[in-house]
Amino acid sequence: MPRARDVAREVAEQHDVCIRPIALQRLDTHTGHREIIDVPCGATLDAACPPCAKRNRQLRMAQCRGGWHLDHEPTITPDEPNDEQRWLIEFRADMQAKRDQTVQAGQDTTDLDAIITGLDEEINTAGIRGNVLAGAGGKRNRSTRRRQDAPDLPQRKMANTTLGRTFTSSDGKSYRPSLFVTLTLPSYGKIRDGVPLDPDTYDYVRAARDALHFSKPVDRFVQNLRRVAGYDVQYFATVEPQRRFAPHLHMAIRGTLPRAEIKQIAAATYHQVWWPPADRAVYEGDHLPVWDNGVGYLDPDTGEVLPTWDEALDHFDADESAQPLHVVRFGAQVDVKGVLAGTPDADQCIRYLSKYLTKSLGDWNPHNRAQRQHAERMLEALQLEPCSPTCANWLRYGIQPKGAKSGMVPGRCRGKAHKPDHLGYAGRRVLVSRKWSNKTLAEHKQDRRTWVLEALGQTDEPPDPHRYVWKPVPAGDANVPPLAVRLLRAVAERQRWRAHMALLQAQAQGQDHSATGEAA
């Protein structure tokens, strides 16, 4: 007999209902009424279940469409925080408190750190600008000689606009062309059927480092693009996996530039990783640094304290002959396509942009032996690469990781980047510039909600941002019904809506053949 929970999950999935809902307690400050409400997992944390991932993909497509061919400047005004943002911030504060307690108790904070990083990202996407604890860390000032030079590229005078140019044809019609660009990483060795022809010569270390730092050259590409284009170029981009497991980037760009210039910018863009050397192991096997409470990590033989992350960077900065640990560049293969607003071509690009958003970067076929081995080799290379300043792998290279704590073992960092689902790239899968459209993703969600409510003949309640107080519900809370019950309730609710929508649509079509509307 299948378990009720599994059946409920299957039914939920068939109806596009979230299968990992997060229970939240909502206090209505007007009535004093407390209620447990299920929030779809995809609305908060990054790790969405398949139905949420599908829904998020649809929202992303709407967001991409919304900004690509804008013909007026978007007005960007900070919004009142909404319920979701409020909840995220409160949750973030709870997690911070928990982390502080954990630190005091001398316990491992890796999991909490991962949650906090994820929450910070979510808070930013939810439309709140900046870091909640802005200024707490403080950025290092790197010596100026390390500043990455603006490459030798043409430079236009900056115009204060985010819009591309309009062209008028001889028959008076105006066109607003935009671009669809695909950037790939370079070759690490010949590939056939998605796997290296010769795994022994394939450059796994370079592939691993490029994947780890992939988001950085993307930022620089945009900076260079703006300088060359001479206006505040806006973009909507997705990071997707290639079969060889290298991340690549699809980017919808508002406005147009000559194809040759885009290629020139891609070729001139690079990012230097100014981290201490991590090529020769200082400690490995059983010969590892030892932790001393209140002191830090020591050399196992001499008892000497290893340099901290900051000391290592200071030392490295003072060394005139120091070289960057790694330099990331794009590959020669740059695809540039001109796209006109409202054409089937534009729609196809949008679908293509979001095609693999629901797939993880390391999605391989376990039955394909060559592919499995390729993934294993990639993971092996990633296992010893430092993924961030806090990575335990720095111990292998004789440096105490930033925020060092007891129990760190090189090769056993729990950062996302080392995991099979990520294969080096732990950054965001969707990158959207601030002035892409008038709306944040949260606002796009709100739009859909309002539209459905209007179609149902209900008005969305006027948003009183102070009405509700949200609180996370601890696991195992007796007021939360079993998951199967919650899933089936959500399915029933969804079916009720769908039936109602279908009825409304039928009525509307009966009255007016030109009635249009987005399918719910």
Summarize as ranges the residues that interact with Zn ion (CB under 5 A): 18, 20, 40-42, 49, 52, 387, 391, 413, 415
Shortest Cβ 87–Zn ion spacing (Å): 16
- Closer residue to Zn ion (CB): 217 or 415: 415
Which tokens in the block code for residue 206? 């370079």
Instruction: Give one DSSP letter per residue of 105-118, joined into a string.
Output: TT---HHHHHHHHH
Shortest Cβ 477–Zn ion spacing (Å): 19
Helices (H) and strands (E) in the chain, counts: 12, 16
- Closer residue to Zn ion (CB): 228 or 391: 391
Shortest Cβ 414–Zn ion spacing (Å): 8
- Closer residue to Zn ion (CB): 18 or 207: 18
Q: How many CA atoms lie within 13 A of 150 on its CB side?
A: 10
- Closer residue to Zn ion (CB): 18 or 208: 18
**In a 3-state reduction of DSSP, which class is residue 424?**
coil
- Closer residue to Zn ion (CB): 213 or 250: 213
Shortest Cβ 51–Zn ion spacing (Å): 6
- Closer residue to Zn ion (CB): 20 or 326: 20
Shortest Cβ 77–Zn ion spacing (Å): 31
- Closer residue to Zn ion (CB): 49 or 431: 49
Shortest Cβ 470–Zn ion spacing (Å): 17
Shortest Cβ 104–Zn ion spacing (Å): 24
**In a 3-state reduction of DSSP, which class is residue 430?**
strand
Shortest Cβ 64–Zn ion spacing (Å): 21
Whether 410 and 283 have beta carbons less than 8 Å apart is answered as yes
Which tokens in the block code for residue 341? 């607003």
Shortest Cβ 483–Zn ion spacing (Å): 12
Over its C-alpha atoms, the chain yields an Rg (Å, rounded) of 26
Q: Which amino acid is at 148?
A: Q
- Closer residue to Zn ion (CB): 128 or 391: 391
Other Cβ atoms within 10 Å of 150 Cβ, number: 12
Shortest Cβ 49–Zn ion spacing (Å): 3
**What distance in Å separates the CA atoms of residue 375 and residue 420, rounded to the nearest whole number?**
8
- Closer residue to Zn ion (CB): 249 or 391: 391
**What distance in Å separates the CA atoms of residue 256 and residue 173, rounded to the nearest whole number?**
18
Shortest Cβ 58–Zn ion spacing (Å): 14
Which tokens in the block code for residue 499? 């039936």
Which tokens in the block code for residue 477? 């809370």
Q: How many CA atoms lie within 13 A of 392 on its CB side?
A: 24
**In a 3-state reduction of DSSP, which class is residue 511?**
helix
Shortest Cβ 211–Zn ion spacing (Å): 13
- Closer residue to Zn ion (CB): 6 or 71: 6
- 217-250 in b/e form (b: 16+ CB < 10 A) is bbebbbebbbbbbebbbbbbbbbbbeebbbbbbb
Whole-number Cα distances in Å, 50 to 16, 41, 57, 360? 8, 10, 10, 11
**In a 3-state reduction of DSSP, which class is residue 403?**
coil
Whole-number Cα distances in Å, 285 to 93, 188, 281, 395, 410? 39, 28, 10, 12, 9
- Closer residue to Zn ion (CB): 249 or 387: 387
**What distance in Å separates the CA atoms of residue 305 and residue 298, rounded to the nearest whole number?**
4
- Closer residue to Zn ion (CB): 47 or 267: 47
Whole-number Cα distances in Å, 58 to 284, 304, 355, 428? 47, 56, 10, 17
Q: How many CA atoms lie within 13 A of 106 on its CB side?
A: 7
